[in-house]
Structure 1
Amino acid sequence: MRSAARTYLGCVAVWNGFIVKSAFRFVTLAAMIALVAASPAYAVTDIMWWHAMSGQLGRQLEKLATDFNATQSEFRIVPSYKGNYTETVTAAIFAFRSRGQPAIVQVNEIATATMMAAKGATYPVFELMRDEAEAFSPTAYLPAVTGYYTDMAGNMLSFPFNASTPILYYNKDLFRAAGLDPEMAPRTWPEVGAAAKRLRAAGAACGLTTAWPSWVHIENFLAFHNLPIATKANGLGGLDAVLTLNNPLTVRNIAQLAQWQTTKVFDYSGRATAAEPRFQNGECAIFIGSSATRADIRVNSKFEIGYGMLPYWPDVEGAPQNTIIGGATLWVLRDRPRYEYKGVARFFAFLSKPEVQAAWHQNTGYLPITRAAFDLTRAQGFYDRNPGAAISIEQMTLKPPTENSKGLRLGSFVLIRDVIEDELEQAFSGKKSAQAALDSAVERGNRLLRQFERANPDR
């Protein structure tokens, strides 16, 4: 829809012509001016928001738009589902080329470097909020969330929206049957291994399984032990970063999982969320997956669920550190009518309100992006009524993030993650040693990084 400014100018042109042609009609100039001045008040500016959320999450997203729209009459946020993250970003890129792009697009966190490389196509959020004079303080947002989406100077490039982190879930019923304390989540990798062996001996088909192999066992594993996945502050410091994930600690951990795989103390279930049903149906007693699946696990599991933080190796100095996020962020695209950006800035200010963030967090399982929303949720008694719901926030804020635990920004990381998971599968199946698999992941991943660097020489 036309912006209110354009509508105003159009109305002025129309009314000026009317005045010339109707000079002898009994209409006063004062009445004309009043009518012209009133016209923009009735013009509602539509702001397109392309997203990748379906089902219940999509309905919660649409509710955010509806609630914002009800607070004012100048702008209307119009959500539009475009498929999964890759499909949504691809659609936005093609739309930009034909000048039909939305003002807002939801982009998954590992595509941050790709969005930054789209020179001139994005409108950094810190600039948007400054230009539109909307209250905006980066210190109000959780550092472990915003760190993923800021530049080296701490400026927020996109708006954190749906953020999650991996946590540990366990089957309390199976813990009881194995003689384990159902109120005590295993904290370290040796404790996880010991518990999983007891569970297998007691008849569990699988001791431990995990979702999102690279996200859990490489990206968050390294952050939680304050180790880099790559040089240049995990890529935040430049496109010439080099992968370093084949360090001795990661090799040790993958080798341990591969050894456990032989007796199903650990049992690899596949990529993405393939492992979730195995925990929900009681097959695997311990599961590491996204904090955002907590609601689904509660609905679909017929046993009492326990929650814990991501395991760590206790002999690593400084561990545990803090985990990093998954999920997505909202990017603002350029070359939309100027007036739309005022509405986008107001919408982001609305999304930052503690009561809005608290409701989003409670209804979806995603992290609140501000400390105020976390404090409000706690004050409302949500965490008392929902044990385990606060673990993700506690884990993310365990310590101030470092260069190693702030996040990562590596070009073509969607492809690199596939490479990493391909090599992890080689290790888990016994076809390669952990060292050989991780060395190969680094070699193949670095080739992709150099390709991305050559394709973006100006960054």
Structure 2
Amino acid sequence: MERRRFLGIAATGVAAASTMSLASCGSGGPGGDEVTLKLVAAEYGAPGKPDSSQHYWEKLARAFEKKHPGIKIDVQTYLWDDVDAKVAEMVKEGKAPDLAQIGAYAVYAAQDQLYSADQLLTISAQANFIPAIAAPGEYRRVQYGLPFTSSSRLLFYNKTLFERAGLDPDAAPESWAEIKAAAKALKAAGVKIPYGLPLGREEPQAEALLWMLGNGGGYTDKVGSYTIDSNNNVETFDWIRKNLTGAGLTNNAPGETNRRDIAEAFTKGEAGMIFGHPTFMREIRAKNIKFGISKRLPGREGPMEATMGVVDWMMAFKQNGRRKEIGAFLDYVFQDDKVLEFAEQYALLPTTTSAVQKMTAQRGSTELKPFLDQLQTAEFYPAGKTSWAAVNQAVKDNIGKAADPGGDPEKVLGKIQNEAQKASSME
């Protein structure tokens, strides 16, 4: 999975409020028995290292338990490669966690296994979500996925390599034509990978969407129908094939190259341009690479109003019937100071209006500002469709072929569209 992340629900909003707040700090289960909530969460750092998410959650859980003696929190974090599958396994075995912070929720919502947002949060808390971020958390117009963390994507470029190629190090490419021109100059200057194009199986759905958005395309239309083989999308991959891969301006075999491989090449000073998320800045700085970031997504004709956004979700399972205790914990987890602490630690973005305002006020005009600005209009995966898991897999299996110099984008995208229609017919 692509990864990326951060959370947010404002302190004033996320109260478990009138219907679900605890009767007292000492309240636990029926008859006053102690309740233990099981939380499974994604790992945003490195297991066993100081930046591990396990440390963040353990610290937060212990602080919560002091305020709520009747509730214990059992936390387990897993790598992104494993966490969704781990939760799915637990659910299948009839041992669903009370809370899961993972990448997909729609399948569980469709099976009526989750509490809806209005069963956990106040109206003001729900209204505080940035609309573009909240919408992908809905299944059949009911919100089940609570936006826990978010990020947007912009173009990163190596200033040192730009200078070597005679390019202005303070001017990020703003259009596809400028990306192509910069890539040609970088190649002439001996740069190994002028533009890094990761369409391997790790996260090609992100790279593909960024390019499709740049030409007015995407995975779905405004009413949620799949439009993967639209004329705009076919034209996008024709352009990539003719102007980048076919011209030798990318890494070899993009369809076999993963995002982490391209990210590593950039941090080694071997790639001139790539699309990246806020957390990537930390990795680049650790390698002392001078870099710049575009203010907006470069599109076919110029800068785009929107870029791609990614959301990871918090969800609450009904199985153990602990809505009251879950609501109290979410009230604590989603307070602005907790939200911003997580954001600072992992260089990620808030998902609520109040937290964005606070981050902007605290940070002012910083490198995160372009990413924050994009959140209001970002385009997200159609996570609210139960078919998306199958469609996403079809994209991973095939999309790289659409960028091959000798490939046939119309045929490749048509194949994915057929898979999408089959999957959506079963929703």
Tell whether the structures are fold-level matches, with TM greater than 0.5. yes
Aligned counterpart, 2:246: 262
Q: 1:147 to 1:444 in 2, by over 3 A?
A: same
Contact 1:69 1:75 in 2 (8 A): yes
- Give matches, 1:150-169, under 5 Å: 150-151=138-139, 153=141, 155-169=142-156
Are 2:156 and 2:275, in contact at CA under 8 Å, matched by a contact in 1?
yes
Matched, 1:192 2:179: yes
User: Pairwise mapping of residues 268-417 of structure 1 onto structure 2 (< 5 A)?
Assistant: 268=254, 270-299=257-286, 301-308=287-294, 309-314=296-301, 320-337=304-321, 340-381=322-363, 383-384=364-365, 387-397=366-376, 399=377, 407-417=382-392
Question: Which gives a bigger RCO, structure 1 or 2 (Cα 8 Å, sep 6+)?
Answer: 2
> Match of 1:36?
none
Measure how far apart 1:415 and its partner are: 3.4
Aligned counterparts of 2:214 and 2:37: Cα–Cα separation in 1: 39
Quote the offset at 1:170 in angstroms: 0.9
Aligned length in residues: 387
Confirm whether residue 60 of structure 1 aligns to residue 56 of structure 2.
Answer: yes
User: Structure 1, residues 13-47: CA drift from partner, whole Å, max 9, x if none?
Assistant: xxxxxxxxxxxxxxxxxxxxxxxxxxx4xx54221
Give the root-mean-square deviation of aligned CA atoms.
2.8
- Aligned counterparts of 1:75 and 1:257: Cα–Cα separation in 2: 54
For residue 291 of structure 1, give the secondary structure of its aligned residue in structure 2: coil
List per-residue Cα deviations over 1:245-272 (Å, max 9, x = no partner): 2222222221222221133322226234
Once residues 156 and 294 of structure 1 are traced to their aligned partners in structure 2, the CA distance between those partners, rounded to angstroms, is 32
Gaps of 5+ in 1: 9-39, 235-240
- Of residues 194-203 and 222-231 in structure 1, the stretch that sits farther from structure 2 once superposed is 222-231
Tell me which residue corresponds to 1:81. 77
Larger Rg: 1
Amino acid at match of 2:148: F
SS at the partner of 2:100? strand
Asked if structure 1 preserves the Cα contact closer than 8 Å seen for 2:116 and 2:144, the reply is: yes
Per the alignment, do residues 371 and 77 of structure 1 end up closer, same or farther by CA in structure 2, a change over 3 Å counting?
Answer: same
Alpha-carbon distance in 2 for matches of 1:302, 1:424: 33
Specify the alignment match of 1:419 in structure 2: 394
1:120 aligns with 2:112: yes
Q: Distance in 2 between matches of 1:429 and 1:320?
A: 25
Q: Which structure shows the bigger proportion of residues in helix conformation? A: 1
8 Å CA contact 1:68–1:350 kept in 2: the answer is: yes
Amino acid across the alignment from 1:307 = I
- What residue is the counterpart of 2:129 in the other structure? 141
Alpha-carbon distance in 2 for matches of 1:283, 1:307: 17
Instruction: Give the 3 Å change call, closer, same or farther, for CA 262–288 of structure 1 in structure 2.
Output: same
CA distance, structure 2, for counterparts of residue 324 and residue 433 of structure 1: 25
Show CA shifts across 1:409-452 (max 9, x none): 333433322322333322333342222221222123333333xx
- Could you tell me which of 228, 232, 235 is aligned with 1:249? 232
What is the alpha-carbon distance in structure 2 between the residues aligned to residue 227 and residue 263 of structure 1? 24
User: Residue in 1 aligned with 2:17?
Assistant: none
Question: What is the Cα deviation at residue 287 of structure 1?
Answer: 0.9
1:125 to 1:365, Cα distance in 2 relative to 1, 3 A: same
